Amino acid sequence: MLTSVFKDAFRTSKGCSHLYRMSCRKPQNVAAAQKTYFTKVHGLPNITPLLSSVEETPDPIPTTVKGNIPTWIRGSLLRNGPGKFEFGNQHYNHWFDGMALMHRFRIEDGQVTYRSRFLRSDSYKQNSERNRIMVSEFGTLALPDPCKNIFQRFLSRFEIIKPTDNASVNFVKYNGDYYVSTETNYMHRVDPETLESKQKVDWSKFIAVNGATAHPHTDPDGTAYNMGNSYRNKGVFYNIIRVPPETDGSNDTLEGAKILCSIAPHDKSKPSYYHSFGMSENYVVFIEQPIKMDLFKIVTGKIRGKSLNEGIYWDPNQETIFHLIDKQTGKEMPVKYYTKAMSTFHQINAFEQDGFLMLDMCCSDDGQAINNFLLQNLRQSGDALDEMYNTMCQPLPRRFVLPLNITSETPMEQNLNTRQDSTATAVCRTKKQVFCTFEDLHGEDLKDYGGFEFPHINYAKYNTKPYRYFYGCGFRHLVGDSLIKMDLESKKFKVWRQPDLYPSEPVFIPSPNAEEEDDGVILSVIITPVKDKSTFLLVLDAKTFEELGRAEVPVNIPYGFHGVFNSSE
């Protein structure tokens, strides 16, 4: 199935693409782009305890509530992330590699209980049985099994690295069922109450994809959208996936899933890596960024003794391409939108208004961050940690304004963005190519907080719609060390920040009968490296960004990735 793809990978040279040669003639030459780096810091604290293994807490335990947790909050904050970073004397290399640890904060009548379980994935079970790393992860190559003979160990070097089912990135919901997911073709259905692993699900059994993102989008009717690559005899394709809304429950959750659209990569032997995608009311937006996957290096990784992440690289000489797919017809729009080389992991929101599509996301001028999160880097201290941090680019919230009504009459070399309140530009190069520059969704003062990541909005009411507020983490210390509320009208922000405390991704919960967009609370799990067993669930008033209460948990919790709120109402 992959034969033609890898033959092309052998033949591909490393010269500039036609796309880049063309862009070099323009004043927006990517080589001339200014990069936005982190504000220089000195004396960063050691955060090793945030990235260390912990024990699971399978039975609910009480917490100590301080302040006031509103009694109208009824449900569970479900979170996911790595929680075990070694087996025996073998250690994982990358933050993304740790075994998935699921967390549940049950909130009812102003009280909170906590429980956690390791996902009983095949990877976790195989590693536990042998007390060594048996399954390769993103940044860690499993060594040949010493129980095999020399010849068997030699032959194992020629096997393609098999995808892990260590679903450590997010909690997602399809057809009313909760899953934990990563970026391979495997998810696990879990019980949101007990966190017990119920079923391993393989996307490729339902549709022709070899993976899916951990950040699907959902329409109001429950229809879910996702993305996954496929590797066929004709090459590599990016696939837009549509999963129908909840039925009578008699079928498998992914029954009826379809590929809405297939998109050919700009370079089929080196497709782009992507972590998420955008979605407006009528369009799915795929961002083809210059974080590239060298398929030849990936498929020969075991022979060369290299893990998967070493086949992923940043190519600043490539432009970023926005692809728009009509959600009703499944057709890719003929016009492509280009911008300078940039990287993005998370989109904030996207909506259509007055003939434009506004695409808001957290962007960086460099795409090397994915390989900066090696555990040996994150666990540094002193000058070494400062030096790494000070050479990284800041992720910042930005808006691109994409004109939708491009026709044969559309003028060339003229800014098509007529929105008076926007500094973004969109200029036709040809009738099917529009070059775009962004508008900052922030003031200069945000840079003092290490940029902005882990964005969250009032998703239920404002996803794919015009909105005013979004929330996220400032990343001044390599992981989130502040909570931020951004106001799009003023481009000013509110901050919750306390010394030595590290908040996770904020989750917005609307209050009952909410009338305004920010009527509700923000939930975030806070941990610290300076005190043992001092984790707490923080509850902020989303409007004022002042603390309402906290629930202290008497166990250690590592810094995690993403989660959702499962309402009991």
- What are the CB-based long-range contacts (under 8 Å, 24+) for 247-250? 247/175, 249/175, 249/176
Structure tokens at 454: 């882990």
Q: What pLDDT score was predicted for residue 288?
A: 97
CA distance 334 to 284: 14
Q: What pLDDT score was predicted for residue 30?
A: 37
Q: Strand pairing partners for 424?
A: none
**Mean pLDDT of all residues belonging to the chain:** 89
* DSSP class of 138: S
Q: What pLDDT score was predicted for residue 148?
A: 56
CA distance 222 to 425: 34
CA distance 165 to 188: 8
Structure tokens at 75: 């449900």
The DSSP secondary structure of 39-92, one letter per residue, reads PP---PPP-GGGGS------S-EE-EEEE---TT--EEEEEEEEEE-EETTEE-
Q: What pLDDT score was predicted for residue 27?
A: 35
Alpha-carbon torsion angle 411, 414, 418, 423, nearest 10: 160
CA distance 98 to 469: 33
CA distance 78 to 525: 11
Cβ 350 vs Cβ 464: under 8 Å: yes
Structure tokens at 554: 């008497």
Q: What pLDDT score was predicted for residue 235?
A: 80
Q: What pLDDT score was predicted for residue 368?
A: 86
The model's pLDDT over 64-92, given as tens digits with 9 standing for 90+, comes to 999 999 999 999 999 999 999 999 999 99
Distance of alpha carbon 325 from the chain centroid: 21
* DSSP class of 432: T
CA distance 359 to 347: 8
Q: What pLDDT score was predicted for residue 105?
A: 98
CA distance 236 to 74: 45
Residues in the chain: 569
Per-residue pLDDT of the chain (569 residues; tens, 9 = 90+): 333 333 344 333 333 333 333 333 333 333 334 677 666 677 888 999 999 999 999 999 999 999 999 999 999 999 999 999 999 999 999 999 999 999 999 999 999 999 999 999 999 999 999 999 999 999 999 976 656 555 444 444 445 578 999 999 999 999 889 999 999 999 999 999 999 999 999 999 999 899 999 999 999 999 999 999 998 667 899 999 999 987 655 556 788 899 999 999 988 889 999 999 999 999 999 999 999 999 889 888 888 889 999 999 999 999 999 999 999 999 999 999 999 999 999 999 999 999 999 999 999 999 988 888 899 999 988 888 888 888 888 899 999 999 999 998 999 989 999 998 899 999 999 999 999 999 999 999 999 998 999 999 999 999 999 999 999 999 988 899 999 999 999 999 999 999 999 999 999 999 999 999 999 999 999 999 999 999 999 999 999 999 999 999 999 999 999 999 999 76
Distances (CA, A) of 189 to 222, 238, 545, 565: 18, 25, 34, 16
Taking alpha carbons only, the member of 61, 80, 89 closest to residue 119 is 80
Q: Strand pairing partners for 211?
A: none
With b for 16 or more beta-carbon neighbours within 10 A and e for fewer, the 375-396 pattern comes to: bebbbbeeeebbebbeebbbbb
Residues near 234 by Cβ (< 8 Å), separated by ≥ 6? 4
Cβ 565 vs Cβ 76: under 8 Å: yes
Q: What pLDDT score was predicted for residue 156?
A: 47
Q: Strand pairing partners for 263?
A: 238
Structure tokens at 548: 């309402």
Cβ 435 vs Cβ 487: under 8 Å: no
Residues near 446 by Cβ (< 8 Å), separated by ≥ 6? 396, 397, 452, 474, 484, 486, 493
CA distance 221 to 156: 47
The DSSP secondary structure of 13-46, one letter per residue, reads --SPPHHHHHHTTSTT-GGGPPP-BPPP---PPP
Cβ 135 vs Cβ 122: under 8 Å: yes
Rounded to two decimals, the pTM is 0.90
With b for 16 or more beta-carbon neighbours within 10 A and e for fewer, the 323-358 pattern comes to: bbbebeeeebbebbbbbbbbbbbbbbbbbbeeebbb
